[in-house]
Amino acid sequence: MDAAEQEIYIGVTLAGCYLIEAHLGSGNFSGVFRATDQHTEREVAVKILSFRSSHSADARIEFDGEKALLELLSGCSHVVNRVDDGTHQLELAAPGGAIVKFDVPYLVLELADGCLAELLLNRARLPWQARLELYRDLVKGVHQMHLSNVVHRDVKSDNSLVFSRPQGAKIADLGRSKNTADPSRFVAEAYEVGRGDLRFAPPELLWKCGTEDPNDMARVDLFLLGSLFFEIATGVAITQLALIDPLAILTAASRLPRLAREADLRVRTHELREQFMPAYDLFEREMPSHLRDPAVRLLRQLTDPDPTARVPAFRQRSLPPWDLQWLIQKVDVLLKMEAYNTGARRRITRPTRRARPARKGTRT
């Protein structure tokens, strides 16, 4: 949504209820605004499909799909809550004075204090205890989605909302998510490259080897959660750092037939692991020393170029890639290590009381 369209909505009241007050951000097809519910005086976020995109079939599918998924996931503690939705009739003056009417759909969502990407701009001031707690919340959000057969496919700090009351984080922006229990909305080739941001994409999507299989898409989410872990530590996108130009890789892969792409990716697996090593080294330098070893092992597992290696071997025998309880437990271990280290530092630095000298005539 461009700046000119953003200005059109400021001061507009949707459904006689939601007074739009400020623009918060925009994506390819929509804009997000801060608004006030005139009935309750509660502040909310309103996501509006751009009228320039309202006639795009893909944009409508994505917007309507997000609405359906938010309804399905209603009540999940770490997925953003849908408050309301509707359609607003926008009237614009065309050249010559004619009035053109657009039916513009919107979603009303709970209002966050900001997104994780904003916090990470000053991540040096964000204690590791807080970073890990936020990361755990977002892993829990993706876990809740998976338990409802929904894959996110675009996990990153920009799509992670942060709240102060109650304090925590929620996964958001489900426009590119998919309910794997529903029929496919696009042709099979559309899933070869996924729907997310290439800067964070796993190698199998850059080589156009993605599939509609729910387990394959769940493994993509695992890579993206590893990428988010990397972002929380370094502030940058792991795929772009490791592979430099993801778009060039995708363009080159597009010239090959499917079987050739799959074969090329298989033979490059070891090479790709080597290309990710500088990113792992940066991550290691950014991590506190007491968390370094388990955190690096976890990152390398989640972002392994081989999708099947992202799930622990012992879990593969009992649970599908959908179940992220094992990952939540690993983050819990890191949280306990951080809490113990913080407590130990406090014990070391706590001043000790000097013993009072005994009074004359008293026994010691």
State the pLDDT confidence band at 58, using cuts at 50, 70 and 90: confident
Q: Average pLDDT for residues 6-28, to the nearest whole number? A: 91
Paired residues of 180 in beta bridges? none
Residue extents of the structural domains in the chain: 3-110, 114-347
At residue 52, the pLDDT reads 74
What secondary structure letter does DSSP report for 33?
A: E
At residue 347, the pLDDT reads 65
Tell me the per-residue pLDDT of 145-171, one tens digit each, with 9 for 90 and over: 999 999 999 999 999 999 998 899 999
Residues contacting 303, CB < 8 A, separation 6+: 202, 223, 226, 227, 230, 238, 276, 310
State the pLDDT confidence band at 134, using cuts at 50, 70 and 90: very high
State the pLDDT confidence band at 59, using cuts at 50, 70 and 90: confident
Residue 359 clears pLDDT 60, i.e. is over it: no
Q: What angle do CA 224, 26, 132 make, to 5 degrees?
A: 35
State the pLDDT confidence band at 96, using cuts at 50, 70 and 90: confident
At residue 364, the pLDDT reads 39
Is the CATH number of domain 114-347 1.10.510.10?
yes
Its pTM stands at 0.90
CA–CA dist 219, 204 (Å, integer) = 10
At residue 192, the pLDDT reads 87
Q: Average pLDDT for residues 255-271, to the nearest whole number? A: 97
What mean pLDDT value characterizes the chain? 90
- CATH number for region 3-110: 3.30.200.20
Please report, as a single letter, which amino acid is at residue 338: E
Write down the number of H helices and E strands in the chain.
14, 11
Tell me the per-residue pLDDT of 203-246, one tens digit each, with 9 for 90 and over: 999 999 999 999 999 999 999 999 999 999 999 999 999 999 99
At residue 166, the pLDDT reads 86
Q: Average pLDDT for residues 178-198, to the nearest whole number? A: 84
CA–CA dist 89, 165 (Å, integer) = 34
Q: Average pLDDT for residues 299-311, to the nearest whole number? A: 96
